[in-house]
């Protein structure tokens, strides 16, 4: 499974747009990019998943360039409740089964 690199921490203020970039230089053809969110003492929660170009849901957007060697999670107008750790994962969901490989994640702190 491809290794991912993301910033250890980021700070933001309420109402701002936050972009978290993840590098995955060794991504394989069948790999998807998935982002999870985790609050303290809770299990991770699926945010968004994509293969290429742009994916948007009610929570976030995921931007993936043509070479797919990186991706950017975009959180519009963050609030204090978005303070959490965000994990970028790369893998082939149908064949990966339950084996998700988490890195260290990005600790996002949203301030008033």
Partner 1 sequence: DAGVTQSPTHLIKTRGQQVTLRCSPISGHKSVSWYQQVLGQGPQFIFQYYEKEERGRGNFPDRFSARQFPNYSSELNVNALLLGDSALYLCASSGTGTSPGGEQFFGPGTRLTVL
- Which residues would be at the binding site for partner 1 (CB under 8 A)? 41-46, 49, 87, 93-105
Nearer to partner 1, 13 or 39 (CB): 39
Q: Which residue has the tokens 């978290």?
A: 20
Nearer to partner 1, 14 or 109 (CB): 109
CA distance 111 to 27: 34
- The CB-of-112 to partner 1 minimum distance in angstroms stands at 25
What is the side-by-side strand order in the sheet with 70-75? 18-23, 70-75, 61-64, 53-56
Find the distance separating the first CA and the last CA of the chain, reported in whole Å. 38
Nearer to partner 1, 16 or 96 (CB): 96
Distance of CA 44 to the CA centre of its chain: 12
Which residues 6+ apart lie within 8 Å of 40 measured at CB? none
- The CB-of-108 to partner 1 minimum distance in angstroms stands at 15
Nearer to partner 1, 7 or 16 (CB): 7
- The CB-of-104 to partner 1 minimum distance in angstroms stands at 6
- The CB-of-77 to partner 1 minimum distance in angstroms stands at 25
């Amino acid at each position: 499974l491809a290794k991912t690199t993301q910033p250890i921490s980021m700070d933001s203020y309420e109402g701002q747009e936050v972009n978290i970039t993840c590098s995955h230089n060794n991504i394989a053809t069948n790999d998807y990019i998935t982002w999870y969110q985790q609050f303290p003492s809770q299990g991770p929660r699926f945010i968004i998943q994509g293969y290429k170009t742009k994916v948007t849901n009610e929570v976030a957007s995921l931007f993936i360039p043509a070479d797919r060697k990186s991706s950017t999670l975009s959180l519009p107008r963050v609030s204090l409740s978005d303070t959490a750790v965000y994990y970028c994962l790369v893998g082939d969901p149908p064949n990966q089964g339950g084996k998700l490989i988490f890195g260290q994640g990005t600790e996002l702190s949203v301030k008033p």
